[in-house]
Amino acid sequence: AQSVTQPDIHITVSEGASLELRCNYSYGATPYLFWYVQSPGQGLQLLLKYFSGDTLVQGIKGFEAEFKRSQSSFNLRKPSVHWSDAAEYFCAVGPRSNDYKLSFGAGTTVTVRA
Amino acid sequence: GAVVSQHPSWVICKSGTSVKIECRSLDFQATTMFWYRQFPKQSLMLMATSNEGSKATYEQGVEKDKFLINHASLTLSTLTVTSAHPEDSSFYICSASAGQGLYDEQFFGPGTRLTVL
């Protein structure tokens, strides 16, 4: 069965500092990979996705993620965080088929301090 | 991006009553809608997938008679929690897609907090 692990429940970073959120997956084959952000009172918003090709994926809001097949990881990064980046971040995987069901990690809460 | 709304945003009900949650795609036609359940500090768990005009497909372990899903139009899906009990208290999230594949992005609603007393 596929699974997604986000090892960090909560991360606190200073504004302007870099951020890295970890995501590891367990799957029989390389899945489709996604990162979503959830701000209070708002729905999940897609930050970026990886289907194939370049393993470094650029997303919205200055985020990027790198797919590493050897480590079964898809870590999310941002060079310099803004206070508005404080939110819940979810990694998700989906199968390479028409079975379009996403499996989500438990999420990482990011707090940004001034 | 596309907008998905949910109503109500929160609801409190007595045990044994039924509660209906609406999910609407405001600016696109949603061929497929998904319903998720999220417990505190846990991941979203897919409950069911619905396509307009057809019966919903439920995930294993989800009671069809407990969680009734109706996808009556291309912009509206409803989830009815029947005979709700305190263990049904949770955060329910819907998403909508204009297509039927992973290449078709799911747009998420803001969620509905259900508390059953």
Could you read off the pLDDT of B41-100 as tens digits, one per residue? 788 999 999 888 888 999 999 999 999 999 889 999 999 999 999 999 999 999 998 876
Tell me which residue in B32, B93, B102 faces A94 most closely, judged by beta carbons. Answer: B102
With bands split at pLDDT 50, 70 and 90, how would you rate the model's confidence at B26? very high
Residues A46, B105: C-beta atoms closer than 8 Å: yes
With bands split at pLDDT 50, 70 and 90, how would you rate the model's confidence at B101? low
Assess contact for A50 and A67: CB atoms under 8 A.
yes
- With an 8 Å Cβ cutoff, the interface of chain B facing chain A consists of 1, 4, 9, 32, 41-46, 49, 59, 93, 95, 97, 100-111
Residues A45, B109: C-beta atoms closer than 8 Å: no
Q: How far, in whole angstroms, is CA A50 from its chain's centroid?
A: 11
Tell me which residue in B1, B46, B101 faces A102 most closely, judged by beta carbons. Answer: B46
- Residues 6 or more apart in contact with residue B69 via CB below 8 angstroms: B35, B48, B50, B56, B58, B77, B78, B79, B80
> What per-residue confidence (pLDDT) applies to A15?
97
Which of A56, A77, A95, A36 lies closest to B93, judged by CA?
A36
Which of A81, A64, A86 lies closest to A19, judged by CA?
A81
- Nearest chain B Cα to A32, which residue? B102
What value does the mean pLDDT of chain A take? 91
